[in-house]
Amino acid sequence: MSEISVVIGATGLVGNLVCHHLSKKENKVIAITRRSMSNLSSNIDNLIVDFDDFICNGNFPTCDHLFLCLGTTIKKAGNKNNFKKIDHDYTIALAEKAKKAGALKVSLISSVGADVSSNNFYLSTKGKIEKKIEALDFMSTNIFRPGLLLGARSEPRFMEDIGQKCFILINFLLMGAFSKYKCVRADLVAKTMVTSRKSQGIKYFHYDDFAKKA
């Protein structure tokens, strides 16, 4: 029997690519989104929800593996409170619902530098998400910490646009302990998320782990 995967944030850069790689493996995929997706493979179902209502009243679909790919920026969210609601509150609430529905494995897209004690609001929020996901005690918890993501987004992101234009120079300068901050292709991160599903316990993935999949 094939594994059933649920992808949260499937309209985003990494989430969409995760769906693509999962569909090639002919697994059953349920993409939970706020807006409809187009040109989906036959083995991907699109469940369109209002996240606030779904978290309070929705029935989470039965699944084996949960892929958490929600992500925004403070600028796009409008303020820190909205950013926290999308990145932190939704992610944790949906993970809790998935665990209650029987999910055994979770893969979370986070960020290099994520740390609960960071003075940077973005990175401290990412760190808090990681710790709360770990505390849910899934059989398998994979946490992915990429640097700047390279790939075509539906909306521009200033820092990532700079990274994409300068990534050769940036990556050349980031060596040794700083290599984890290198820019990385989003497709490579998504592929690593999909091919690392069988690991157990808690595992973190950085640039060198993504590079192995190149």
105-136: buried (b, 16+ CB within 10 Å) or exposed (e) per residue? bbbbbbbbbbeeeeeeebbbbbbbbbeebeee
pLDDT of residue 21: 93
> What pLDDT shows up at residue 165?
60
Q: Which residues contact 45 (CB under 8 A, 6 or more apart)?
A: 28, 29, 30, 31
- The number of folded domains in the chain is 1
Intervals of the chain under pLDDT 50: none
CATH number where 50 lies: 3.40.50.720
Note every long-range contact of 37-40, with CB atoms under 8 Å and residues 24 or more positions apart, other chains counting. 37/10, 37/11
Predicted TM-score of the model (pTM): 0.88
The boundaries of the domain holding residue 90 are 4-211
